[in-house]
Structure 1
Amino acid sequence: MIKWISRWRDSRAAAVAPENRLSPDAVTVLALHGFYSFGTAMAGVFLNLYLWRLTNDLFLNGMYNIIVFFVTPVFFVICGYWAKTRDRLLVYRIGVVLTALFYLAVIAAGSNVAEFAYVFAVLNGIANGFYWLGYLTLQFDISTNQNRMRFLGFNLIMVNGAGLAGPALAGFIIANGEGLQGYTIVFSLAFVMFLAASIGSLKLRSHPSHHKAYYLKYTLLMARKSRIWSRVLLVWFIFGLLNGAMLFIPNILLLQVFGKEDSVGYIGMLFTGITIITSYLFSRRANPANIKLYCAVTAIFYALSVSLLFLQLSVWTVIGFLALYGVCFPIQFNALSAYNFRVMSSMPLKGGFRVEAIAVREITLSAGRILSIFGIILLSDNLSSAAIPGILLAAALAQLFIIGLVRKL
């Protein structure tokens, strides 16, 4: 995969300005994240469905995700210290290995996963904390303000390319397996992908941080000195309100209206294809100066998409809802991610505070995710509850507040 991306990059180099080209390390990181994304697209999506099949319990599924989103930022903070005092690449590699071990544990537990769901949620959160702290720090270091939108665009293409094939393959395997045997095969294949990513990470060069001090205790002081960064943190909290619900509700909705895991995987290819096309077009035409426009358009269409669920819970309303979301998400997420990195570059200490800024961002993002999921499990006891589209609509409308929080840089 790395060689394929390199050849593709070289063939396009003449058409891209030198400052916008991706470095060899950036290409390697994209390829490794592709392996990771393929594994999570196969196993991560169906782990929630696995729990749903075993329990049919919305509360248990919701609490599983809440625990994951609570533990992940805690380990962002812990791993941030290790990334600053030792090496961010070491944290990244540990994250890949822990993810592989997590799915190995899922395979070993079998149907007992539901009995120990909250323990597995903690383990998943720990693995996520290591991986994403390392990966997000690498994203900042191997890209520049000139090529970051391009990198993020191709990153989302890689993620959604994996999301295009992974769920379809997993759905096919699960549908053709006996009982829950298909799930075991899917989790085993995911383990192999994570193992390949951990081996491939050895190609990356180590870049120990020159700023060894960990400034997390100065977070409040930094927020007062950089008011624009404090607004960015509020942006990620608002973003998390919708993102949290969308990380766990859609696939359960699809299973509800289609009834089969393979149908969930196949229809997921449609939404992923939409996201890939949108990501590609956005990466080519995105203009950082239009950040407010991107936030306004996506917020409006989020609200329109959720409104379809008020009509009735059917195949077509769920498809329409997720198709519109698939168009809006890459635009909003890429625009906000690039904006976040530009703000980080302009902050006091600049690169010396980047690890801490990423850790604090994850705390606020996870707080938004937890709040929305907690609202769903508190106000509804099944997927037919009118509270679910109501909460999704409130979270979608909240995205409008982001428009007033972002600034031209």
Structure 2
Amino acid sequence: MSFFQIRKETRLSKQAVLTLVNHTIFQFGNSLSLIFINLYLWRLTESLLVNGLFNVTAIMAQAVTTLLIGSLAKRKGHLVMYRYGIFLTAAFYLCVIATRESMVEYFIWFALIRGMAQSTYWLSYFTLAHEVSNNENRHRYLGWNQALMGVANLIGPAAAGYVISFQDGLLGYTIVFTFAFVMFILATIGSFQIKKEESHHTQYYMKLLPLILKREKRFGYALVGWFLLGFPQGIMMYVPPILLFVIFPNESFIGTINALFLSLSILASYVIARFGRLDQTRTYLFVSAVGMLLAASFLFWEISIWTVLLFMSIYSLFRPLQANTYGVYYFTWLDRIPLKTHFRVETVVLREAIINGGRGLGVIIFMLFAKELNPTTVPLVLSFVLVLQLGVPYLIKK
């Protein structure tokens, strides 16, 4: 078989392709603004505490909302909730545009709205991702998912940084947030092209979780794995862009250098999509954990433009390997646990709630031990949460 030839059973369906395209549109709008929301708050306050509180509030709101809306998603259908998620995200940015600099006075409320929007979208999207793929092509689907997200995240911040740097004051931020709002409207329209999978099973089975865990203890270990994976993710959502901005205060540079990091993630994602194997799950997770920990070691020398670039470049290569591998492994549990696909929404609710709990706790740890961008505490905290990743492979069922 040639390098570019794809086996029939691993090819993606039309619905899978439509889902990926619409998710890319959504992610492009997200990427235009996600990094710069944190820089916007930094420009307004120059407070790492405010940024930390904004992120931990949004993350915990996402976790709690996911638990609260799980039953609703099962009854109404995840495609309906998917559209609500895009709409709420659009509403969030519309509020940012309307309030401008006054946003900082209500940043906790903005964080709550963002958390609710993110929970509604991601709960539905991960359910869709399982629905439109199967065990034969799921590595391929999630690999393309990572790659297309990478492309969106590559172009978005670079374009946004360019726009912001050529505008006076904070006007550029308003322009970028407006364009992001337009992308979310397009994603809402595009979501109507995705067909709903008919299901007569609308009962919410979360109350059966203790029985499932008693029967399949390894499924409980898989949930613990999501918690551990969340620790560094919460910190990485906002600390690296601020680190780079403090060292080199230019939004265009931040957007451009982010394109470099995402280029590396796209390359890694393509390799995973092409060659990823389910039977190598433990190996992939161990290699990715070691790689990310190695990346953090450069920060112990000093926090400078070069060490931060090295850290982010190596991290960007290994992060997709971890995310894609664990996502594929977790989805295989739907073929083994009682109720199987009838427990699909519940498994995504558990995943989103638990990983966001880990993200939130990671941010809290960072806020407690690295209140400022201290060259000693920052690498120590990052290394601590990355050391925890070495435990993830041991949670995997052989």
TM range (shorter): over 0.9
- The reply on whether 1:46 has 2:36 as its aligned counterpart is yes
Number of the residue aligned with 1:62: 52
Q: Tell me, yes or no, if structure 1 residue 76 matches structure 2 residue 57.
A: no
1:129 CA displacement: 1.1
Of 125, 136, 158, the residue aligned with 2:115 is 125
User: Per-residue displacement from partner, 1:82-134 (whole Å, max 9, x unpaired)?
Assistant: 22112110000111111111100110010011110000000001101110111
Distance 1:252 1:153 in 2: 29
- Per the alignment, residue 35 of structure 1 pairs with 25
Pairing 1:21-170 to 2, within 5 Å after superposition = 21-170=11-160
1:298 equivalenced with 2:309 (yes/no): no
Report the residue type matching 1:187 in the other structure: F
Which secondary structure state, in structure 2, belongs to the residue aligned with residue 179 of structure 1? Answer: coil
| Equivalent of residue 376 in structure 1, options 333, 356, 366 | 366
Whole-angstrom distance in 2 between the partners of 1:120 and 1:157: 29
Q: Which moved more, 1:201-210 or 1:226-235?
A: 201-210
State the 1:385 CA deviation: 4.8
Instruction: Report what 1:349 is aligned to.
Output: 339
Aligned to 2:297, the other structure's residue is in SS state helix
CA RMSD of aligned residues (A): 1.4
**SS of residue in 2 equivalent to 1:211:** coil
TM-score by length of 1: 0.95
Question: How far apart are the structure 1 equivalents of 2:366 and 2:234?
Answer: 10
Alignment correspondent of 1:322: 312
Work out whether residues 34 and 162 of structure 1, in 8 Å CA contact, stay in contact via their aligned partners in 2: yes
- 2:242 aligned to which of 232, 249, 252: 252
TM-score after normalising by structure 2: 0.97
Residue 20 of structure 1: aligned partner: 10
Q: How far has the Cα of 1:220 moved from its partner?
A: 2.4
Secondary structure at the counterpart of residue 116 of structure 1: helix
Q: 2:190 aligns with which of 182, 200, 203?
A: 200
**2:101 & 2:199 partners in 1: Cα distance?**
43
Matched pairs, number:
397
Q: Could you tell me which amino acid in structure 2 is paired with residue 118 of structure 1?
A: I
Name the counterpart of 1:4.
Answer: none
Distance 2:239 2:371 in 1: 13
Displacement of 1:209 in angstroms is 3.1
- Aligned-partner Cα distance in 1 for 2:271–2:71: 37
Contact 1:84/1:213, CA 8 A, preserved across alignment = yes
AA aligned to 1:359 is: V
Shift of 1:264: 0.4
Counterpart residue type for residue 278 of structure 1: A
1:254 deviates by 1.3
Deviations 1:342-376 (A, max 9, x none): 01221110011111111111121111111111011
CA separation of 1:260/1:400 partners in 2, compared to 1, >3 Å: closer, same or farther? same
Return 14-23 or 177-186, whichever deviates more: 14-23
Does residue 393 of the first structure (1) align with residue 383 of the second (2)? Answer: yes
Q: 1:301 is matched by which residue type in structure 2?
A: G
Residue of structure 1 in register with 2:276 after alignment: 286
Asked if structure 1 preserves the Cα contact closer than 8 Å seen for 2:369 and 2:381, the reply is: no
Q: 1:381 deviation in Å?
A: 2.2
Letter in 1 for 2:166: N
| Gaps in structure 2 of 5+ consecutive residues | none
1:385 and 1:111 map into 2 onto residues whose CA distance is 30
AA in 2 matched with 1:305 = A
Native 8 Å contact 2:63 2:357 kept in 1: no
Alpha-carbon separation, structure 1, partners of 2:234 and 2:210: 25
How much identity, in percent, do the aligned residues show?
A: 38
Q: Deviation per CA, 1:278-326, whole angstroms, max 9, x where unpaired?
A: 1001110111111111111111111111111111110110000000100
Contact 1:240 1:368 in 2 (8 A): yes
Shift in Å, 1:379: 1.6
Query: Secondary structure at 1:177's aligned position in 2?
Result: coil
What's the CA shift for 1:206? 2.1
- Report what 2:353 is aligned to: 363
Contact map agreement 1:79 1:91 (CA 8 A) in 2: no
